[in-house]
Amino acid sequence: MNVHDSERIGGLLEAQGYLPVPAGSEPDLVVFNTCAVRENADQKLYGSLTKYIYTKEQRPDFQIAVGGCLAQKDRGEIIKRAPWVDVVYGTHNVGALPILLKRAQIEKEAQVEIKESLEHFPSTLPVRRDSAFSAWVSISVGCNNTCTFCIVPTLRGVEKDRPTTEILEEIRSLVAQGVIEVTLLGQNVNAYGVDFGDRQAFAKLLRSCGEIEGLRRVRFMSPHPRDFTDDVIEAMAQTPNVMPHLHMPLQSGSNRILQAMRRSYRAERYLGIVERVRAMIPHAAITTDIIVGFPGESDEDFQATLDVMAQARFTAAYTFQYSKRPGTPAATMPDQVDPEVIGSRYTFLHQFQEKISFDESQKLIGSEVEVLIGDHVGRRDAERGRVAGRSEDFHLVHLNYEPDKKPQPGDLVRTVITEAAPHHLIASGLPISIEKTAGSYAAEVRTQAISLGMPTFSNPEQTR
């Protein structure tokens, strides 16, 4: 969601005449879009800001802006700690950035503007997308949950849902521009419909996406187990362009800790969802988030998490060491776990999941997959004559090709998996087929536009 917010910021600035600075050149403006979920976000921001003290002294017209969740949380404190910053704005008024920058130039003083409620839904703002063929689409903002470790609801506000017609209109517009893959975004994406009282709204939205001609892939993140209903599983299984990948945060496998987290589900319910997904979509890949060292977590609680992981057989788990976030109930809970214990558990859990991920990846050797080739070629892939992309179940796949038939970004390639590692798959044989898509042509046009220094933002109102 922060990546998509950054795309909106880029679109706003391009609409005002700004362009991304060429490599090796000095920028006129640097914008920090911040997160506040973990403690190191604070350290990272203020450490990064210090790098620009000298630049600001040498070039007074050079501007620095700070937005996002940390800006919403710290507000004027940012200017106190980094007085060389020009603009601070919050999560609810991203659209005000260009005006605040101009005002800071005219008034020659820092501008701090934090709104307490959403000013514009992000979809109404211009956007400079990172990809020509794969797009994020927000269906809601904010969150109605009260997880004791999470500061997001405080900073993003209560859940606000977009009308279904508006979402589908945006997706159709994207497809007309060459997009073939969309990811539906929401802080609690499967709670969509709470604003207008329709508990089946998310499943209906998935099915409606299946009716959009030219839309090849649909993904979503992140769902909450509390709101995960069978109609969503059925919609995933019965809608061909909804991909067989589910990212569903577990956070802990201990019912006692889940209760302390206010997660409003228990391990048994979570595993029941996993079981039903696999029954209806046998080839689905399931990934998750896990927090290690939540206050009060005992050895028994930690073992319960390992037990759930062993049963769920996650393809991957994004694991985090618990850190206090001021303003959350968990920060003042008794029985805070010793950092050394947290570190030890984190290392063990990571190694435990690595083994599961490797075993699950090994099962895919010999299988035929469809890979959407990505925009970027890594150094190792370039050295080995490979390209990479995501399979339908979201595995990262590195694949070989014939010298005169190199797959391009946006192509859909069918190939056979020959090797496997915990976090990627390899197809060392030649592709079975390479399909040029509307996304392939859109990527070519975008590359040409960038090489000519042309803006690449789109304005939703103009598109409509």
Instruction: Let me know whether 403 and 340 are in one domain.
Output: no
The pLDDT confidence band at residue 462, using thresholds 50, 70 and 90, is: very low
Q: 87 pLDDT exceeds 50?
A: yes
Give pLDDT tens digits for 375-386.
988 889 998 999
Confirm whether 447 is domain-assigned: no
Q: What's the average model confidence in pLDDT over 25-37? A: 92
CA distance 297 to 124: 43
Please give the mean pLDDT across all residues of the chain: 93
Confirm whether 142 is domain-assigned: yes
Q: 461 pLDDT exceeds 80?
A: no
Confirm whether 443 is domain-assigned: no
Instruction: Let me know whether 230 and 356 are in one domain.
Output: yes
Instruction: Let me know whether 129 and 252 are in one domain.
Output: yes
Instruction: Let me know whether 234 and 339 are in one domain.
Output: yes
Give pLDDT tens digits for 431-459.
999 999 999 999 999 888 877 777 777 76
Instruction: Let me know whether 313 and 185 are in one domain.
Output: yes
For the ranges 34-43, 109-118, 295-304, the lowest mean pLDDT is seen at 34-43
Instruction: Let me know whether 102 and 247 are in one domain.
Output: no
What dihedral angle (degrees, nearest 10) is formed by the CA atoms of 108, 110, 115, 116?
-150
Instruction: Let me know whether 285 and 387 are in one domain.
Output: no
Domain stops at, among 113, 133, 159: 113
Instruction: Let me know whether 165 and 259 are in one domain.
Output: yes
pLDDT for 231 equals 97
Domain stops at, among 303, 334, 360: 360
Q: What's the average model confidence in pLDDT over 28-32? A: 96
Instruction: Let me know whether 223 and 329 are in one domain.
Output: yes
Give pLDDT tens digits for 127-169.
889 899 999 999 999 999 999 999 888 888 889 999 999 999 9
Instruction: Let me know whether 313 and 209 are in one domain.
Output: yes
Confirm whether 446 is domain-assigned: no
Q: Per the structure, how many domains does the chain have?
A: 3
pLDDT for 463 equals 41
Task: Provide the percentage of residues in the chain whose pLDDT is more than 90.
Answer: 81
Q: Say if residues 258 and 224 touch (Cβ distance below 8 Å).
A: no
Give pLDDT tens digits for 214-243.
999 999 999 999 999 999 999 999 999 999
Give pLDDT tens digits for 34-53.
988 777 778 889 999 999 99
Instruction: Let me know whether 64 and 144 are in one domain.
Output: no
Instruction: Let me know whether 131 and 109 are in one domain.
Output: no
Q: What is the CATH number of the domain that holds 44?
A: 3.40.50.12160
Range of the domain at 67: 2-113
Task: Provide the percentage of residues in the chain whose pLDDT is more than 70.
Answer: 98
